[in-house]
Amino acid sequence: MQTDPTFPPRLPAPPYFAVIFSSQRTADDGLGYAMMADRMEELARQQSGFLGVESVRAADGQGITVSCWNDLDSIQAWRNHAEHRIAQETGRNKWYESFQLQICRVERSSTFRRSND
């Protein structure tokens, strides 16, 4: 299996904040959704306080995205970003059957990477 060295993302030591976005896609507008998802990730990476993002979607349309941020103010600013606001509204209107947002303070973390010696 090909491995992606950017997954899981490398993050600073805690504490920091995470947004867990769990969603169930509708069957609608796969291309429009994919374009929006790529654009939102590109935009998020440019925001102040952004630390990292990881996103997984399965064939059945269930997905989890975790984005990590320095502080709650950065999360709030990203939430209110004009282009992100349009994506959120389109998501409720068209792309998502259901979703859940959880805002968390990350208190501890650990990482494992296989050594290929």
d(CA 102, CA 72): 12
Which listed residue (31, 80, 82, 111) binds a second copy by CB under 8 A? 111
Tokens representing 79 are 């939430």
Total Cβ atoms within 10 A of residue 68: 23
What residues contact residue 112 under an 8 Å CB cut-off, 6+ apart?
A: none
From 14-22, 31-39, 41-49, span contacting a second copy (CB under 8 A): 14-22
Site size toward a second copy, by CB under 8 A: 48
Interface with a second copy in residues 18-47 (CB under 8 A): 18, 20, 22-27
Which residue type sits at 37? A
Chain contacts with a second copy (rule: CB under 8 A) = 1-4, 7-9, 11, 14, 18, 20, 22-27, 54, 56-64, 66, 92, 96-114
